[in-house]
Chains A and B, each alone.
Chain A
């Protein structure tokens, strides 16, 4: 901890100390906001651990020892870890690259570049490594994803829950391009845009086309037909707002009410990535080929409109060279994006559901930025508190976007 003293909470909030949440309050939140079982367990665990210690730096050697322990439990033959180093990128998880000399089943002895992806003490978004593991497995051979090997869901071997997958070649933005932190505001040159955009849209259509019933997705609940999917989603984020927010925002209360009054019906459930955007895919610069789709941690079985609304969010796009047209994820104008998606997927969009999901996505993005980022940085819970603090203020642009969307929907 830093020794910095925070000002006292207002009189109205003084009765409840969110940094030391009482068990009764946690129970009441669970009852008020029913959602997927796995999400409920994760949020409950987060709250039960909140008053515990902050994040303290973990030396690379400790992570190497943890991975070795995990692999000893998983591999029969001899293996050797080497070239361990930190990876940057992402606002939520710690990542360590390393090489593994091992007997790959069916391939023999080889040296494979790997990545360890591990949670800190708390994260800008509380998610399950098992769900991420299952999604990566489900999409092997469907779209480019890192090949995932092992999951330490309960932190039996590593300091915090983690998974291990193969290292993927590529970059998230052109080495010459400007761009903000965590993949925001990336600008791609026109030639690269022409190469990346069709792949980007085609992969999204393929994700939505993957039959979730034929994959092992035991960590997920499938919403019933009707409004349950949307209801679960609003409950999930209303609960996080209650758990994490410091300064209340009347517009957020209004947005929650608006979402509940306009719940869309789910016509056809599909796997939703939930964070499909620039910054979350890798590509090789020499040929403009997408090599890996990353960050599946927020994925769920839900409504395809959630991804379409997310990908087109203003926070992840940029203006073209003439500063005239807004480009979705810095790649292409929104109308072209939707047209190409409909062609690739064979699915027509429902404008009303798309609009609802735009409000919904901005709602939960604003919660992550304004509430969770603040809460975890205040409690010193991550390996990069300075980054999550930097991100807090992005919440205002996101919230203003949401305000305009609600106005248009009124």
Chain B
């Protein structure tokens, strides 16, 4: 997906700074202040978004360590038995989640980009190959893969209103639920 939050935020900040804020009535102090806050908030989002996943994972990691100590401190107190058991259940679920979140979203995206590029290079090379029958198979495979992916791409941006018949595109939640996403 080329339309990612980084480019959206950058272009919104530029529009605010270059066009909108200079046009705001300087006497309307509420509007001036809020326009500047919008820029500040967008800049904060641009800073936070690439870190958000790591930030949350870091917190979960430290919470697990911290609650381990807490459990040890309180396990001797029988009055706290139920609370300690509940905490243990949550810790087990948290540890499992942490194990599943070993990679970063940035790594996921980098892997997608590399695969796209390598697959594209293969398609171009196959087009130049003299084996027509093999190329026909490559062509069919690319068209089939693209059909599934483009349906998801179109669905993800459905709220923008590009589709002449939006009812022909399933909601993105349905498409992602149907796959591993």
Q: Identify which of residues 370-410 in chain A touch chain B, using a CB-to-CB cut-off of 8 Å.
A: 370, 374, 377-378, 380, 383-386, 388-390, 392-397, 399-400, 403, 406-407, 410
The range of chain A's interface size is 35 or more
Chain A residues with CB under 8 A of B11:
2, 377, 385-386, 388-389
Determine the chain B residues whose CB is within 8 A of the CB of A318 once the complex forms. 164
Interface of B is mostly: helix
Interface pair A247/B113, CB less than 8 Å apart:
yes
Chain B residues within 8 Å of A384, by CB: 15, 19
In the complex, A318 Cα to B146 Cα: how many Å? 24
Q: Which of A11, A374, A410 contacts B110 (CB 8 A)?
A: A11
> Quick one: given A254-B139, A390-B160, A407-B143, are A400 and B7 in contact (CB under 8 Å)?
no
B10: which A residues are within 8 A, CB to CB?
Answer: 2, 4, 6, 377-378, 380, 385, 389
CB-CB under 8 A from B156, the residues of chain A are: 393
Q: Considering the chains assembled together, what is the distance between the CA atoms of A256 and B140 in angstroms? A: 15
Q: Does B85 contact A (CB under 8 A)?
A: no
* In the complex, chain B residues whose CB is within 8 Å of the CB of A326: 164
Chain B's nearest CB lies how many Å from the CB of A3?
Answer: 7
| Inter-subunit contact B12/A315 (CB<8 Å) | no
B66 within 8 A of A: no
Task: Fill in one digit per residue for A252-285: 1 if any B CB lies within 8 Å of its CB, else 0.
Answer: 1110111011000000000000000000000000
Decide: A248 near B113, CB < 8 A? Known: A395-B2, A406-B143, A407-B143.
yes
Contact B150 A2 (CB under 8 A): no
Q: How far is the CA of A3 from the CA of B10 in the complex (A)?
A: 8
B residues near A370, Cβ cutoff 8 Å:
2
**A89 to chain B: closest CB distance in Å?**
15
Question: Could you tell me if A396 and B117 are in contact, using CB atoms closer than 8 angstroms?
Answer: no
Chain A positions 284-334 with a Cβ under 8 Å from a chain B Cβ: 314-315, 317-319, 323, 326
Residues of A within 8 A of B106 (CB): 7
Residues of B with C-beta under 8 A to A57: 18-19, 22
Q: Taking CB as reference atom, which chain A residue is nearest B13?
A: A2
Are B150 and A396 in touch, CB under 8 angstroms?
yes
CA distance A393 to B160 in the complex (A): 8
Listed by A's residue number, 13 A-B pairs whose Cβ atoms lie within 8 Å are A2-B13, A9-B113, A10-B114, A11-B114, A180-B162, A251-B146, A370-B2, A374-B7, A380-B14, A383-B18, A383-B19, A396-B157, A397-B163
